[in-house]
Amino acid sequence: MYIGLSRQMTLRREMDVIANNIANADTAGFKVENLMVRTEPKSPARSIDGPKPIKFVLDDGVARNFTQGALRQTGGAFDLAIDGKGFFKIDTAQGERFTRDGRFTLSPDGRLTNQAGDSVSGDAGEIVVDPAKGPVSIASDGTVSQAGERVGKVGVFLFSGRAVLAKNGDNLFKNTSNEAPVADTASRVRQGMLESSNVNPILQITRMIEVSRAYEGVVKSMESNSDLSRRAVERLGKLA
Q: Three-class SS string for 118-159? A: CEEEECCEECECCHHHCCEEECCCCEEEECCEEEEEECEEEC
Say if strands 71-73 and 95-99 run parallel, antiparallel, or are unpaired.
Answer: unpaired
**Confidence at residue 227, expressed as pLDDT on a 0 to 100 scale:** 78
pLDDT tens sequence across 118-166:
999 988 788 999 888 889 999 999 999 998 899 999 999 999 888 899 9
Axis crossing angle, helix 2-23 with helix 201-239, rounded to the nearest 10: 160
Q: Using the predicted structure, report yes or no on whether residue 56 has a pLDDT greater than 90.
A: no
Average pLDDT, whole number, for the chain? 88
DSSP codes, 8-62: HHHHHHHHHHHHHHHHTTTSTT---EEEEEES--SS-EE-TTSSPEE---EEEEE
What is the value of pTM for the model shown?
Answer: 0.82
Q: How many other C-beta atoms can be found within 10 angstroms of the C-beta atom of residue 44?
A: 12
- Report the pLDDT averaged over residues 26-48: 79
**Confidence at residue 232, expressed as pLDDT on a 0 to 100 scale:** 76
pLDDT tens sequence across 152-161:
999 999 998 8
**Confidence at residue 24, expressed as pLDDT on a 0 to 100 scale:** 94
Q: Using the predicted structure, report yes or no on whether residue 184 has a pLDDT greater than 70.
A: yes
Q: Work out the angle at residue 75's Cα, subtended by the Cα atoms of residues 69 and 80, and round it to the nearest 5 degrees.
A: 50
| Long-range CB contacts (within 8 A, 24+) of 107-112 | 112/78, 112/144, 112/152, 112/154
Q: Which of 70-84, 142-156, 163-177, 219-233 has the lowest mean pLDDT?
A: 219-233
**Confidence at residue 186, expressed as pLDDT on a 0 to 100 scale:** 92
Q: Using the predicted structure, report yes or no on whether residue 100 has a pLDDT greater than 70.
A: yes
**Percent of the chain, pLDDT > 70?**
92
**Confidence at residue 231, expressed as pLDDT on a 0 to 100 scale:** 77
Under DSSP, the state recorded for 107 is: -
Position with higher pLDDT, 72 vs 40: 72
**Confidence at residue 165, expressed as pLDDT on a 0 to 100 scale:** 92
Question: Identity (one letter) of the amino acid at 66?
Answer: F
- Report the pLDDT averaged over residues 26-52: 77
The number of helix segments (H) and strand segments (E) in the chain equals 2, 21
Q: What size, in residues, is the chain?
A: 240
- Phi-psi bin for 156: left (phi > 0), alpha (psi -120 to 50), beta? beta
Q: Using the predicted structure, report yes or no on whether residue 47 has a pLDDT greater than 70.
A: no
Position with higher pLDDT, 231 vs 95: 95
Q: Using the predicted structure, report yes or no on whether residue 238 has a pLDDT greater than 90.
A: no
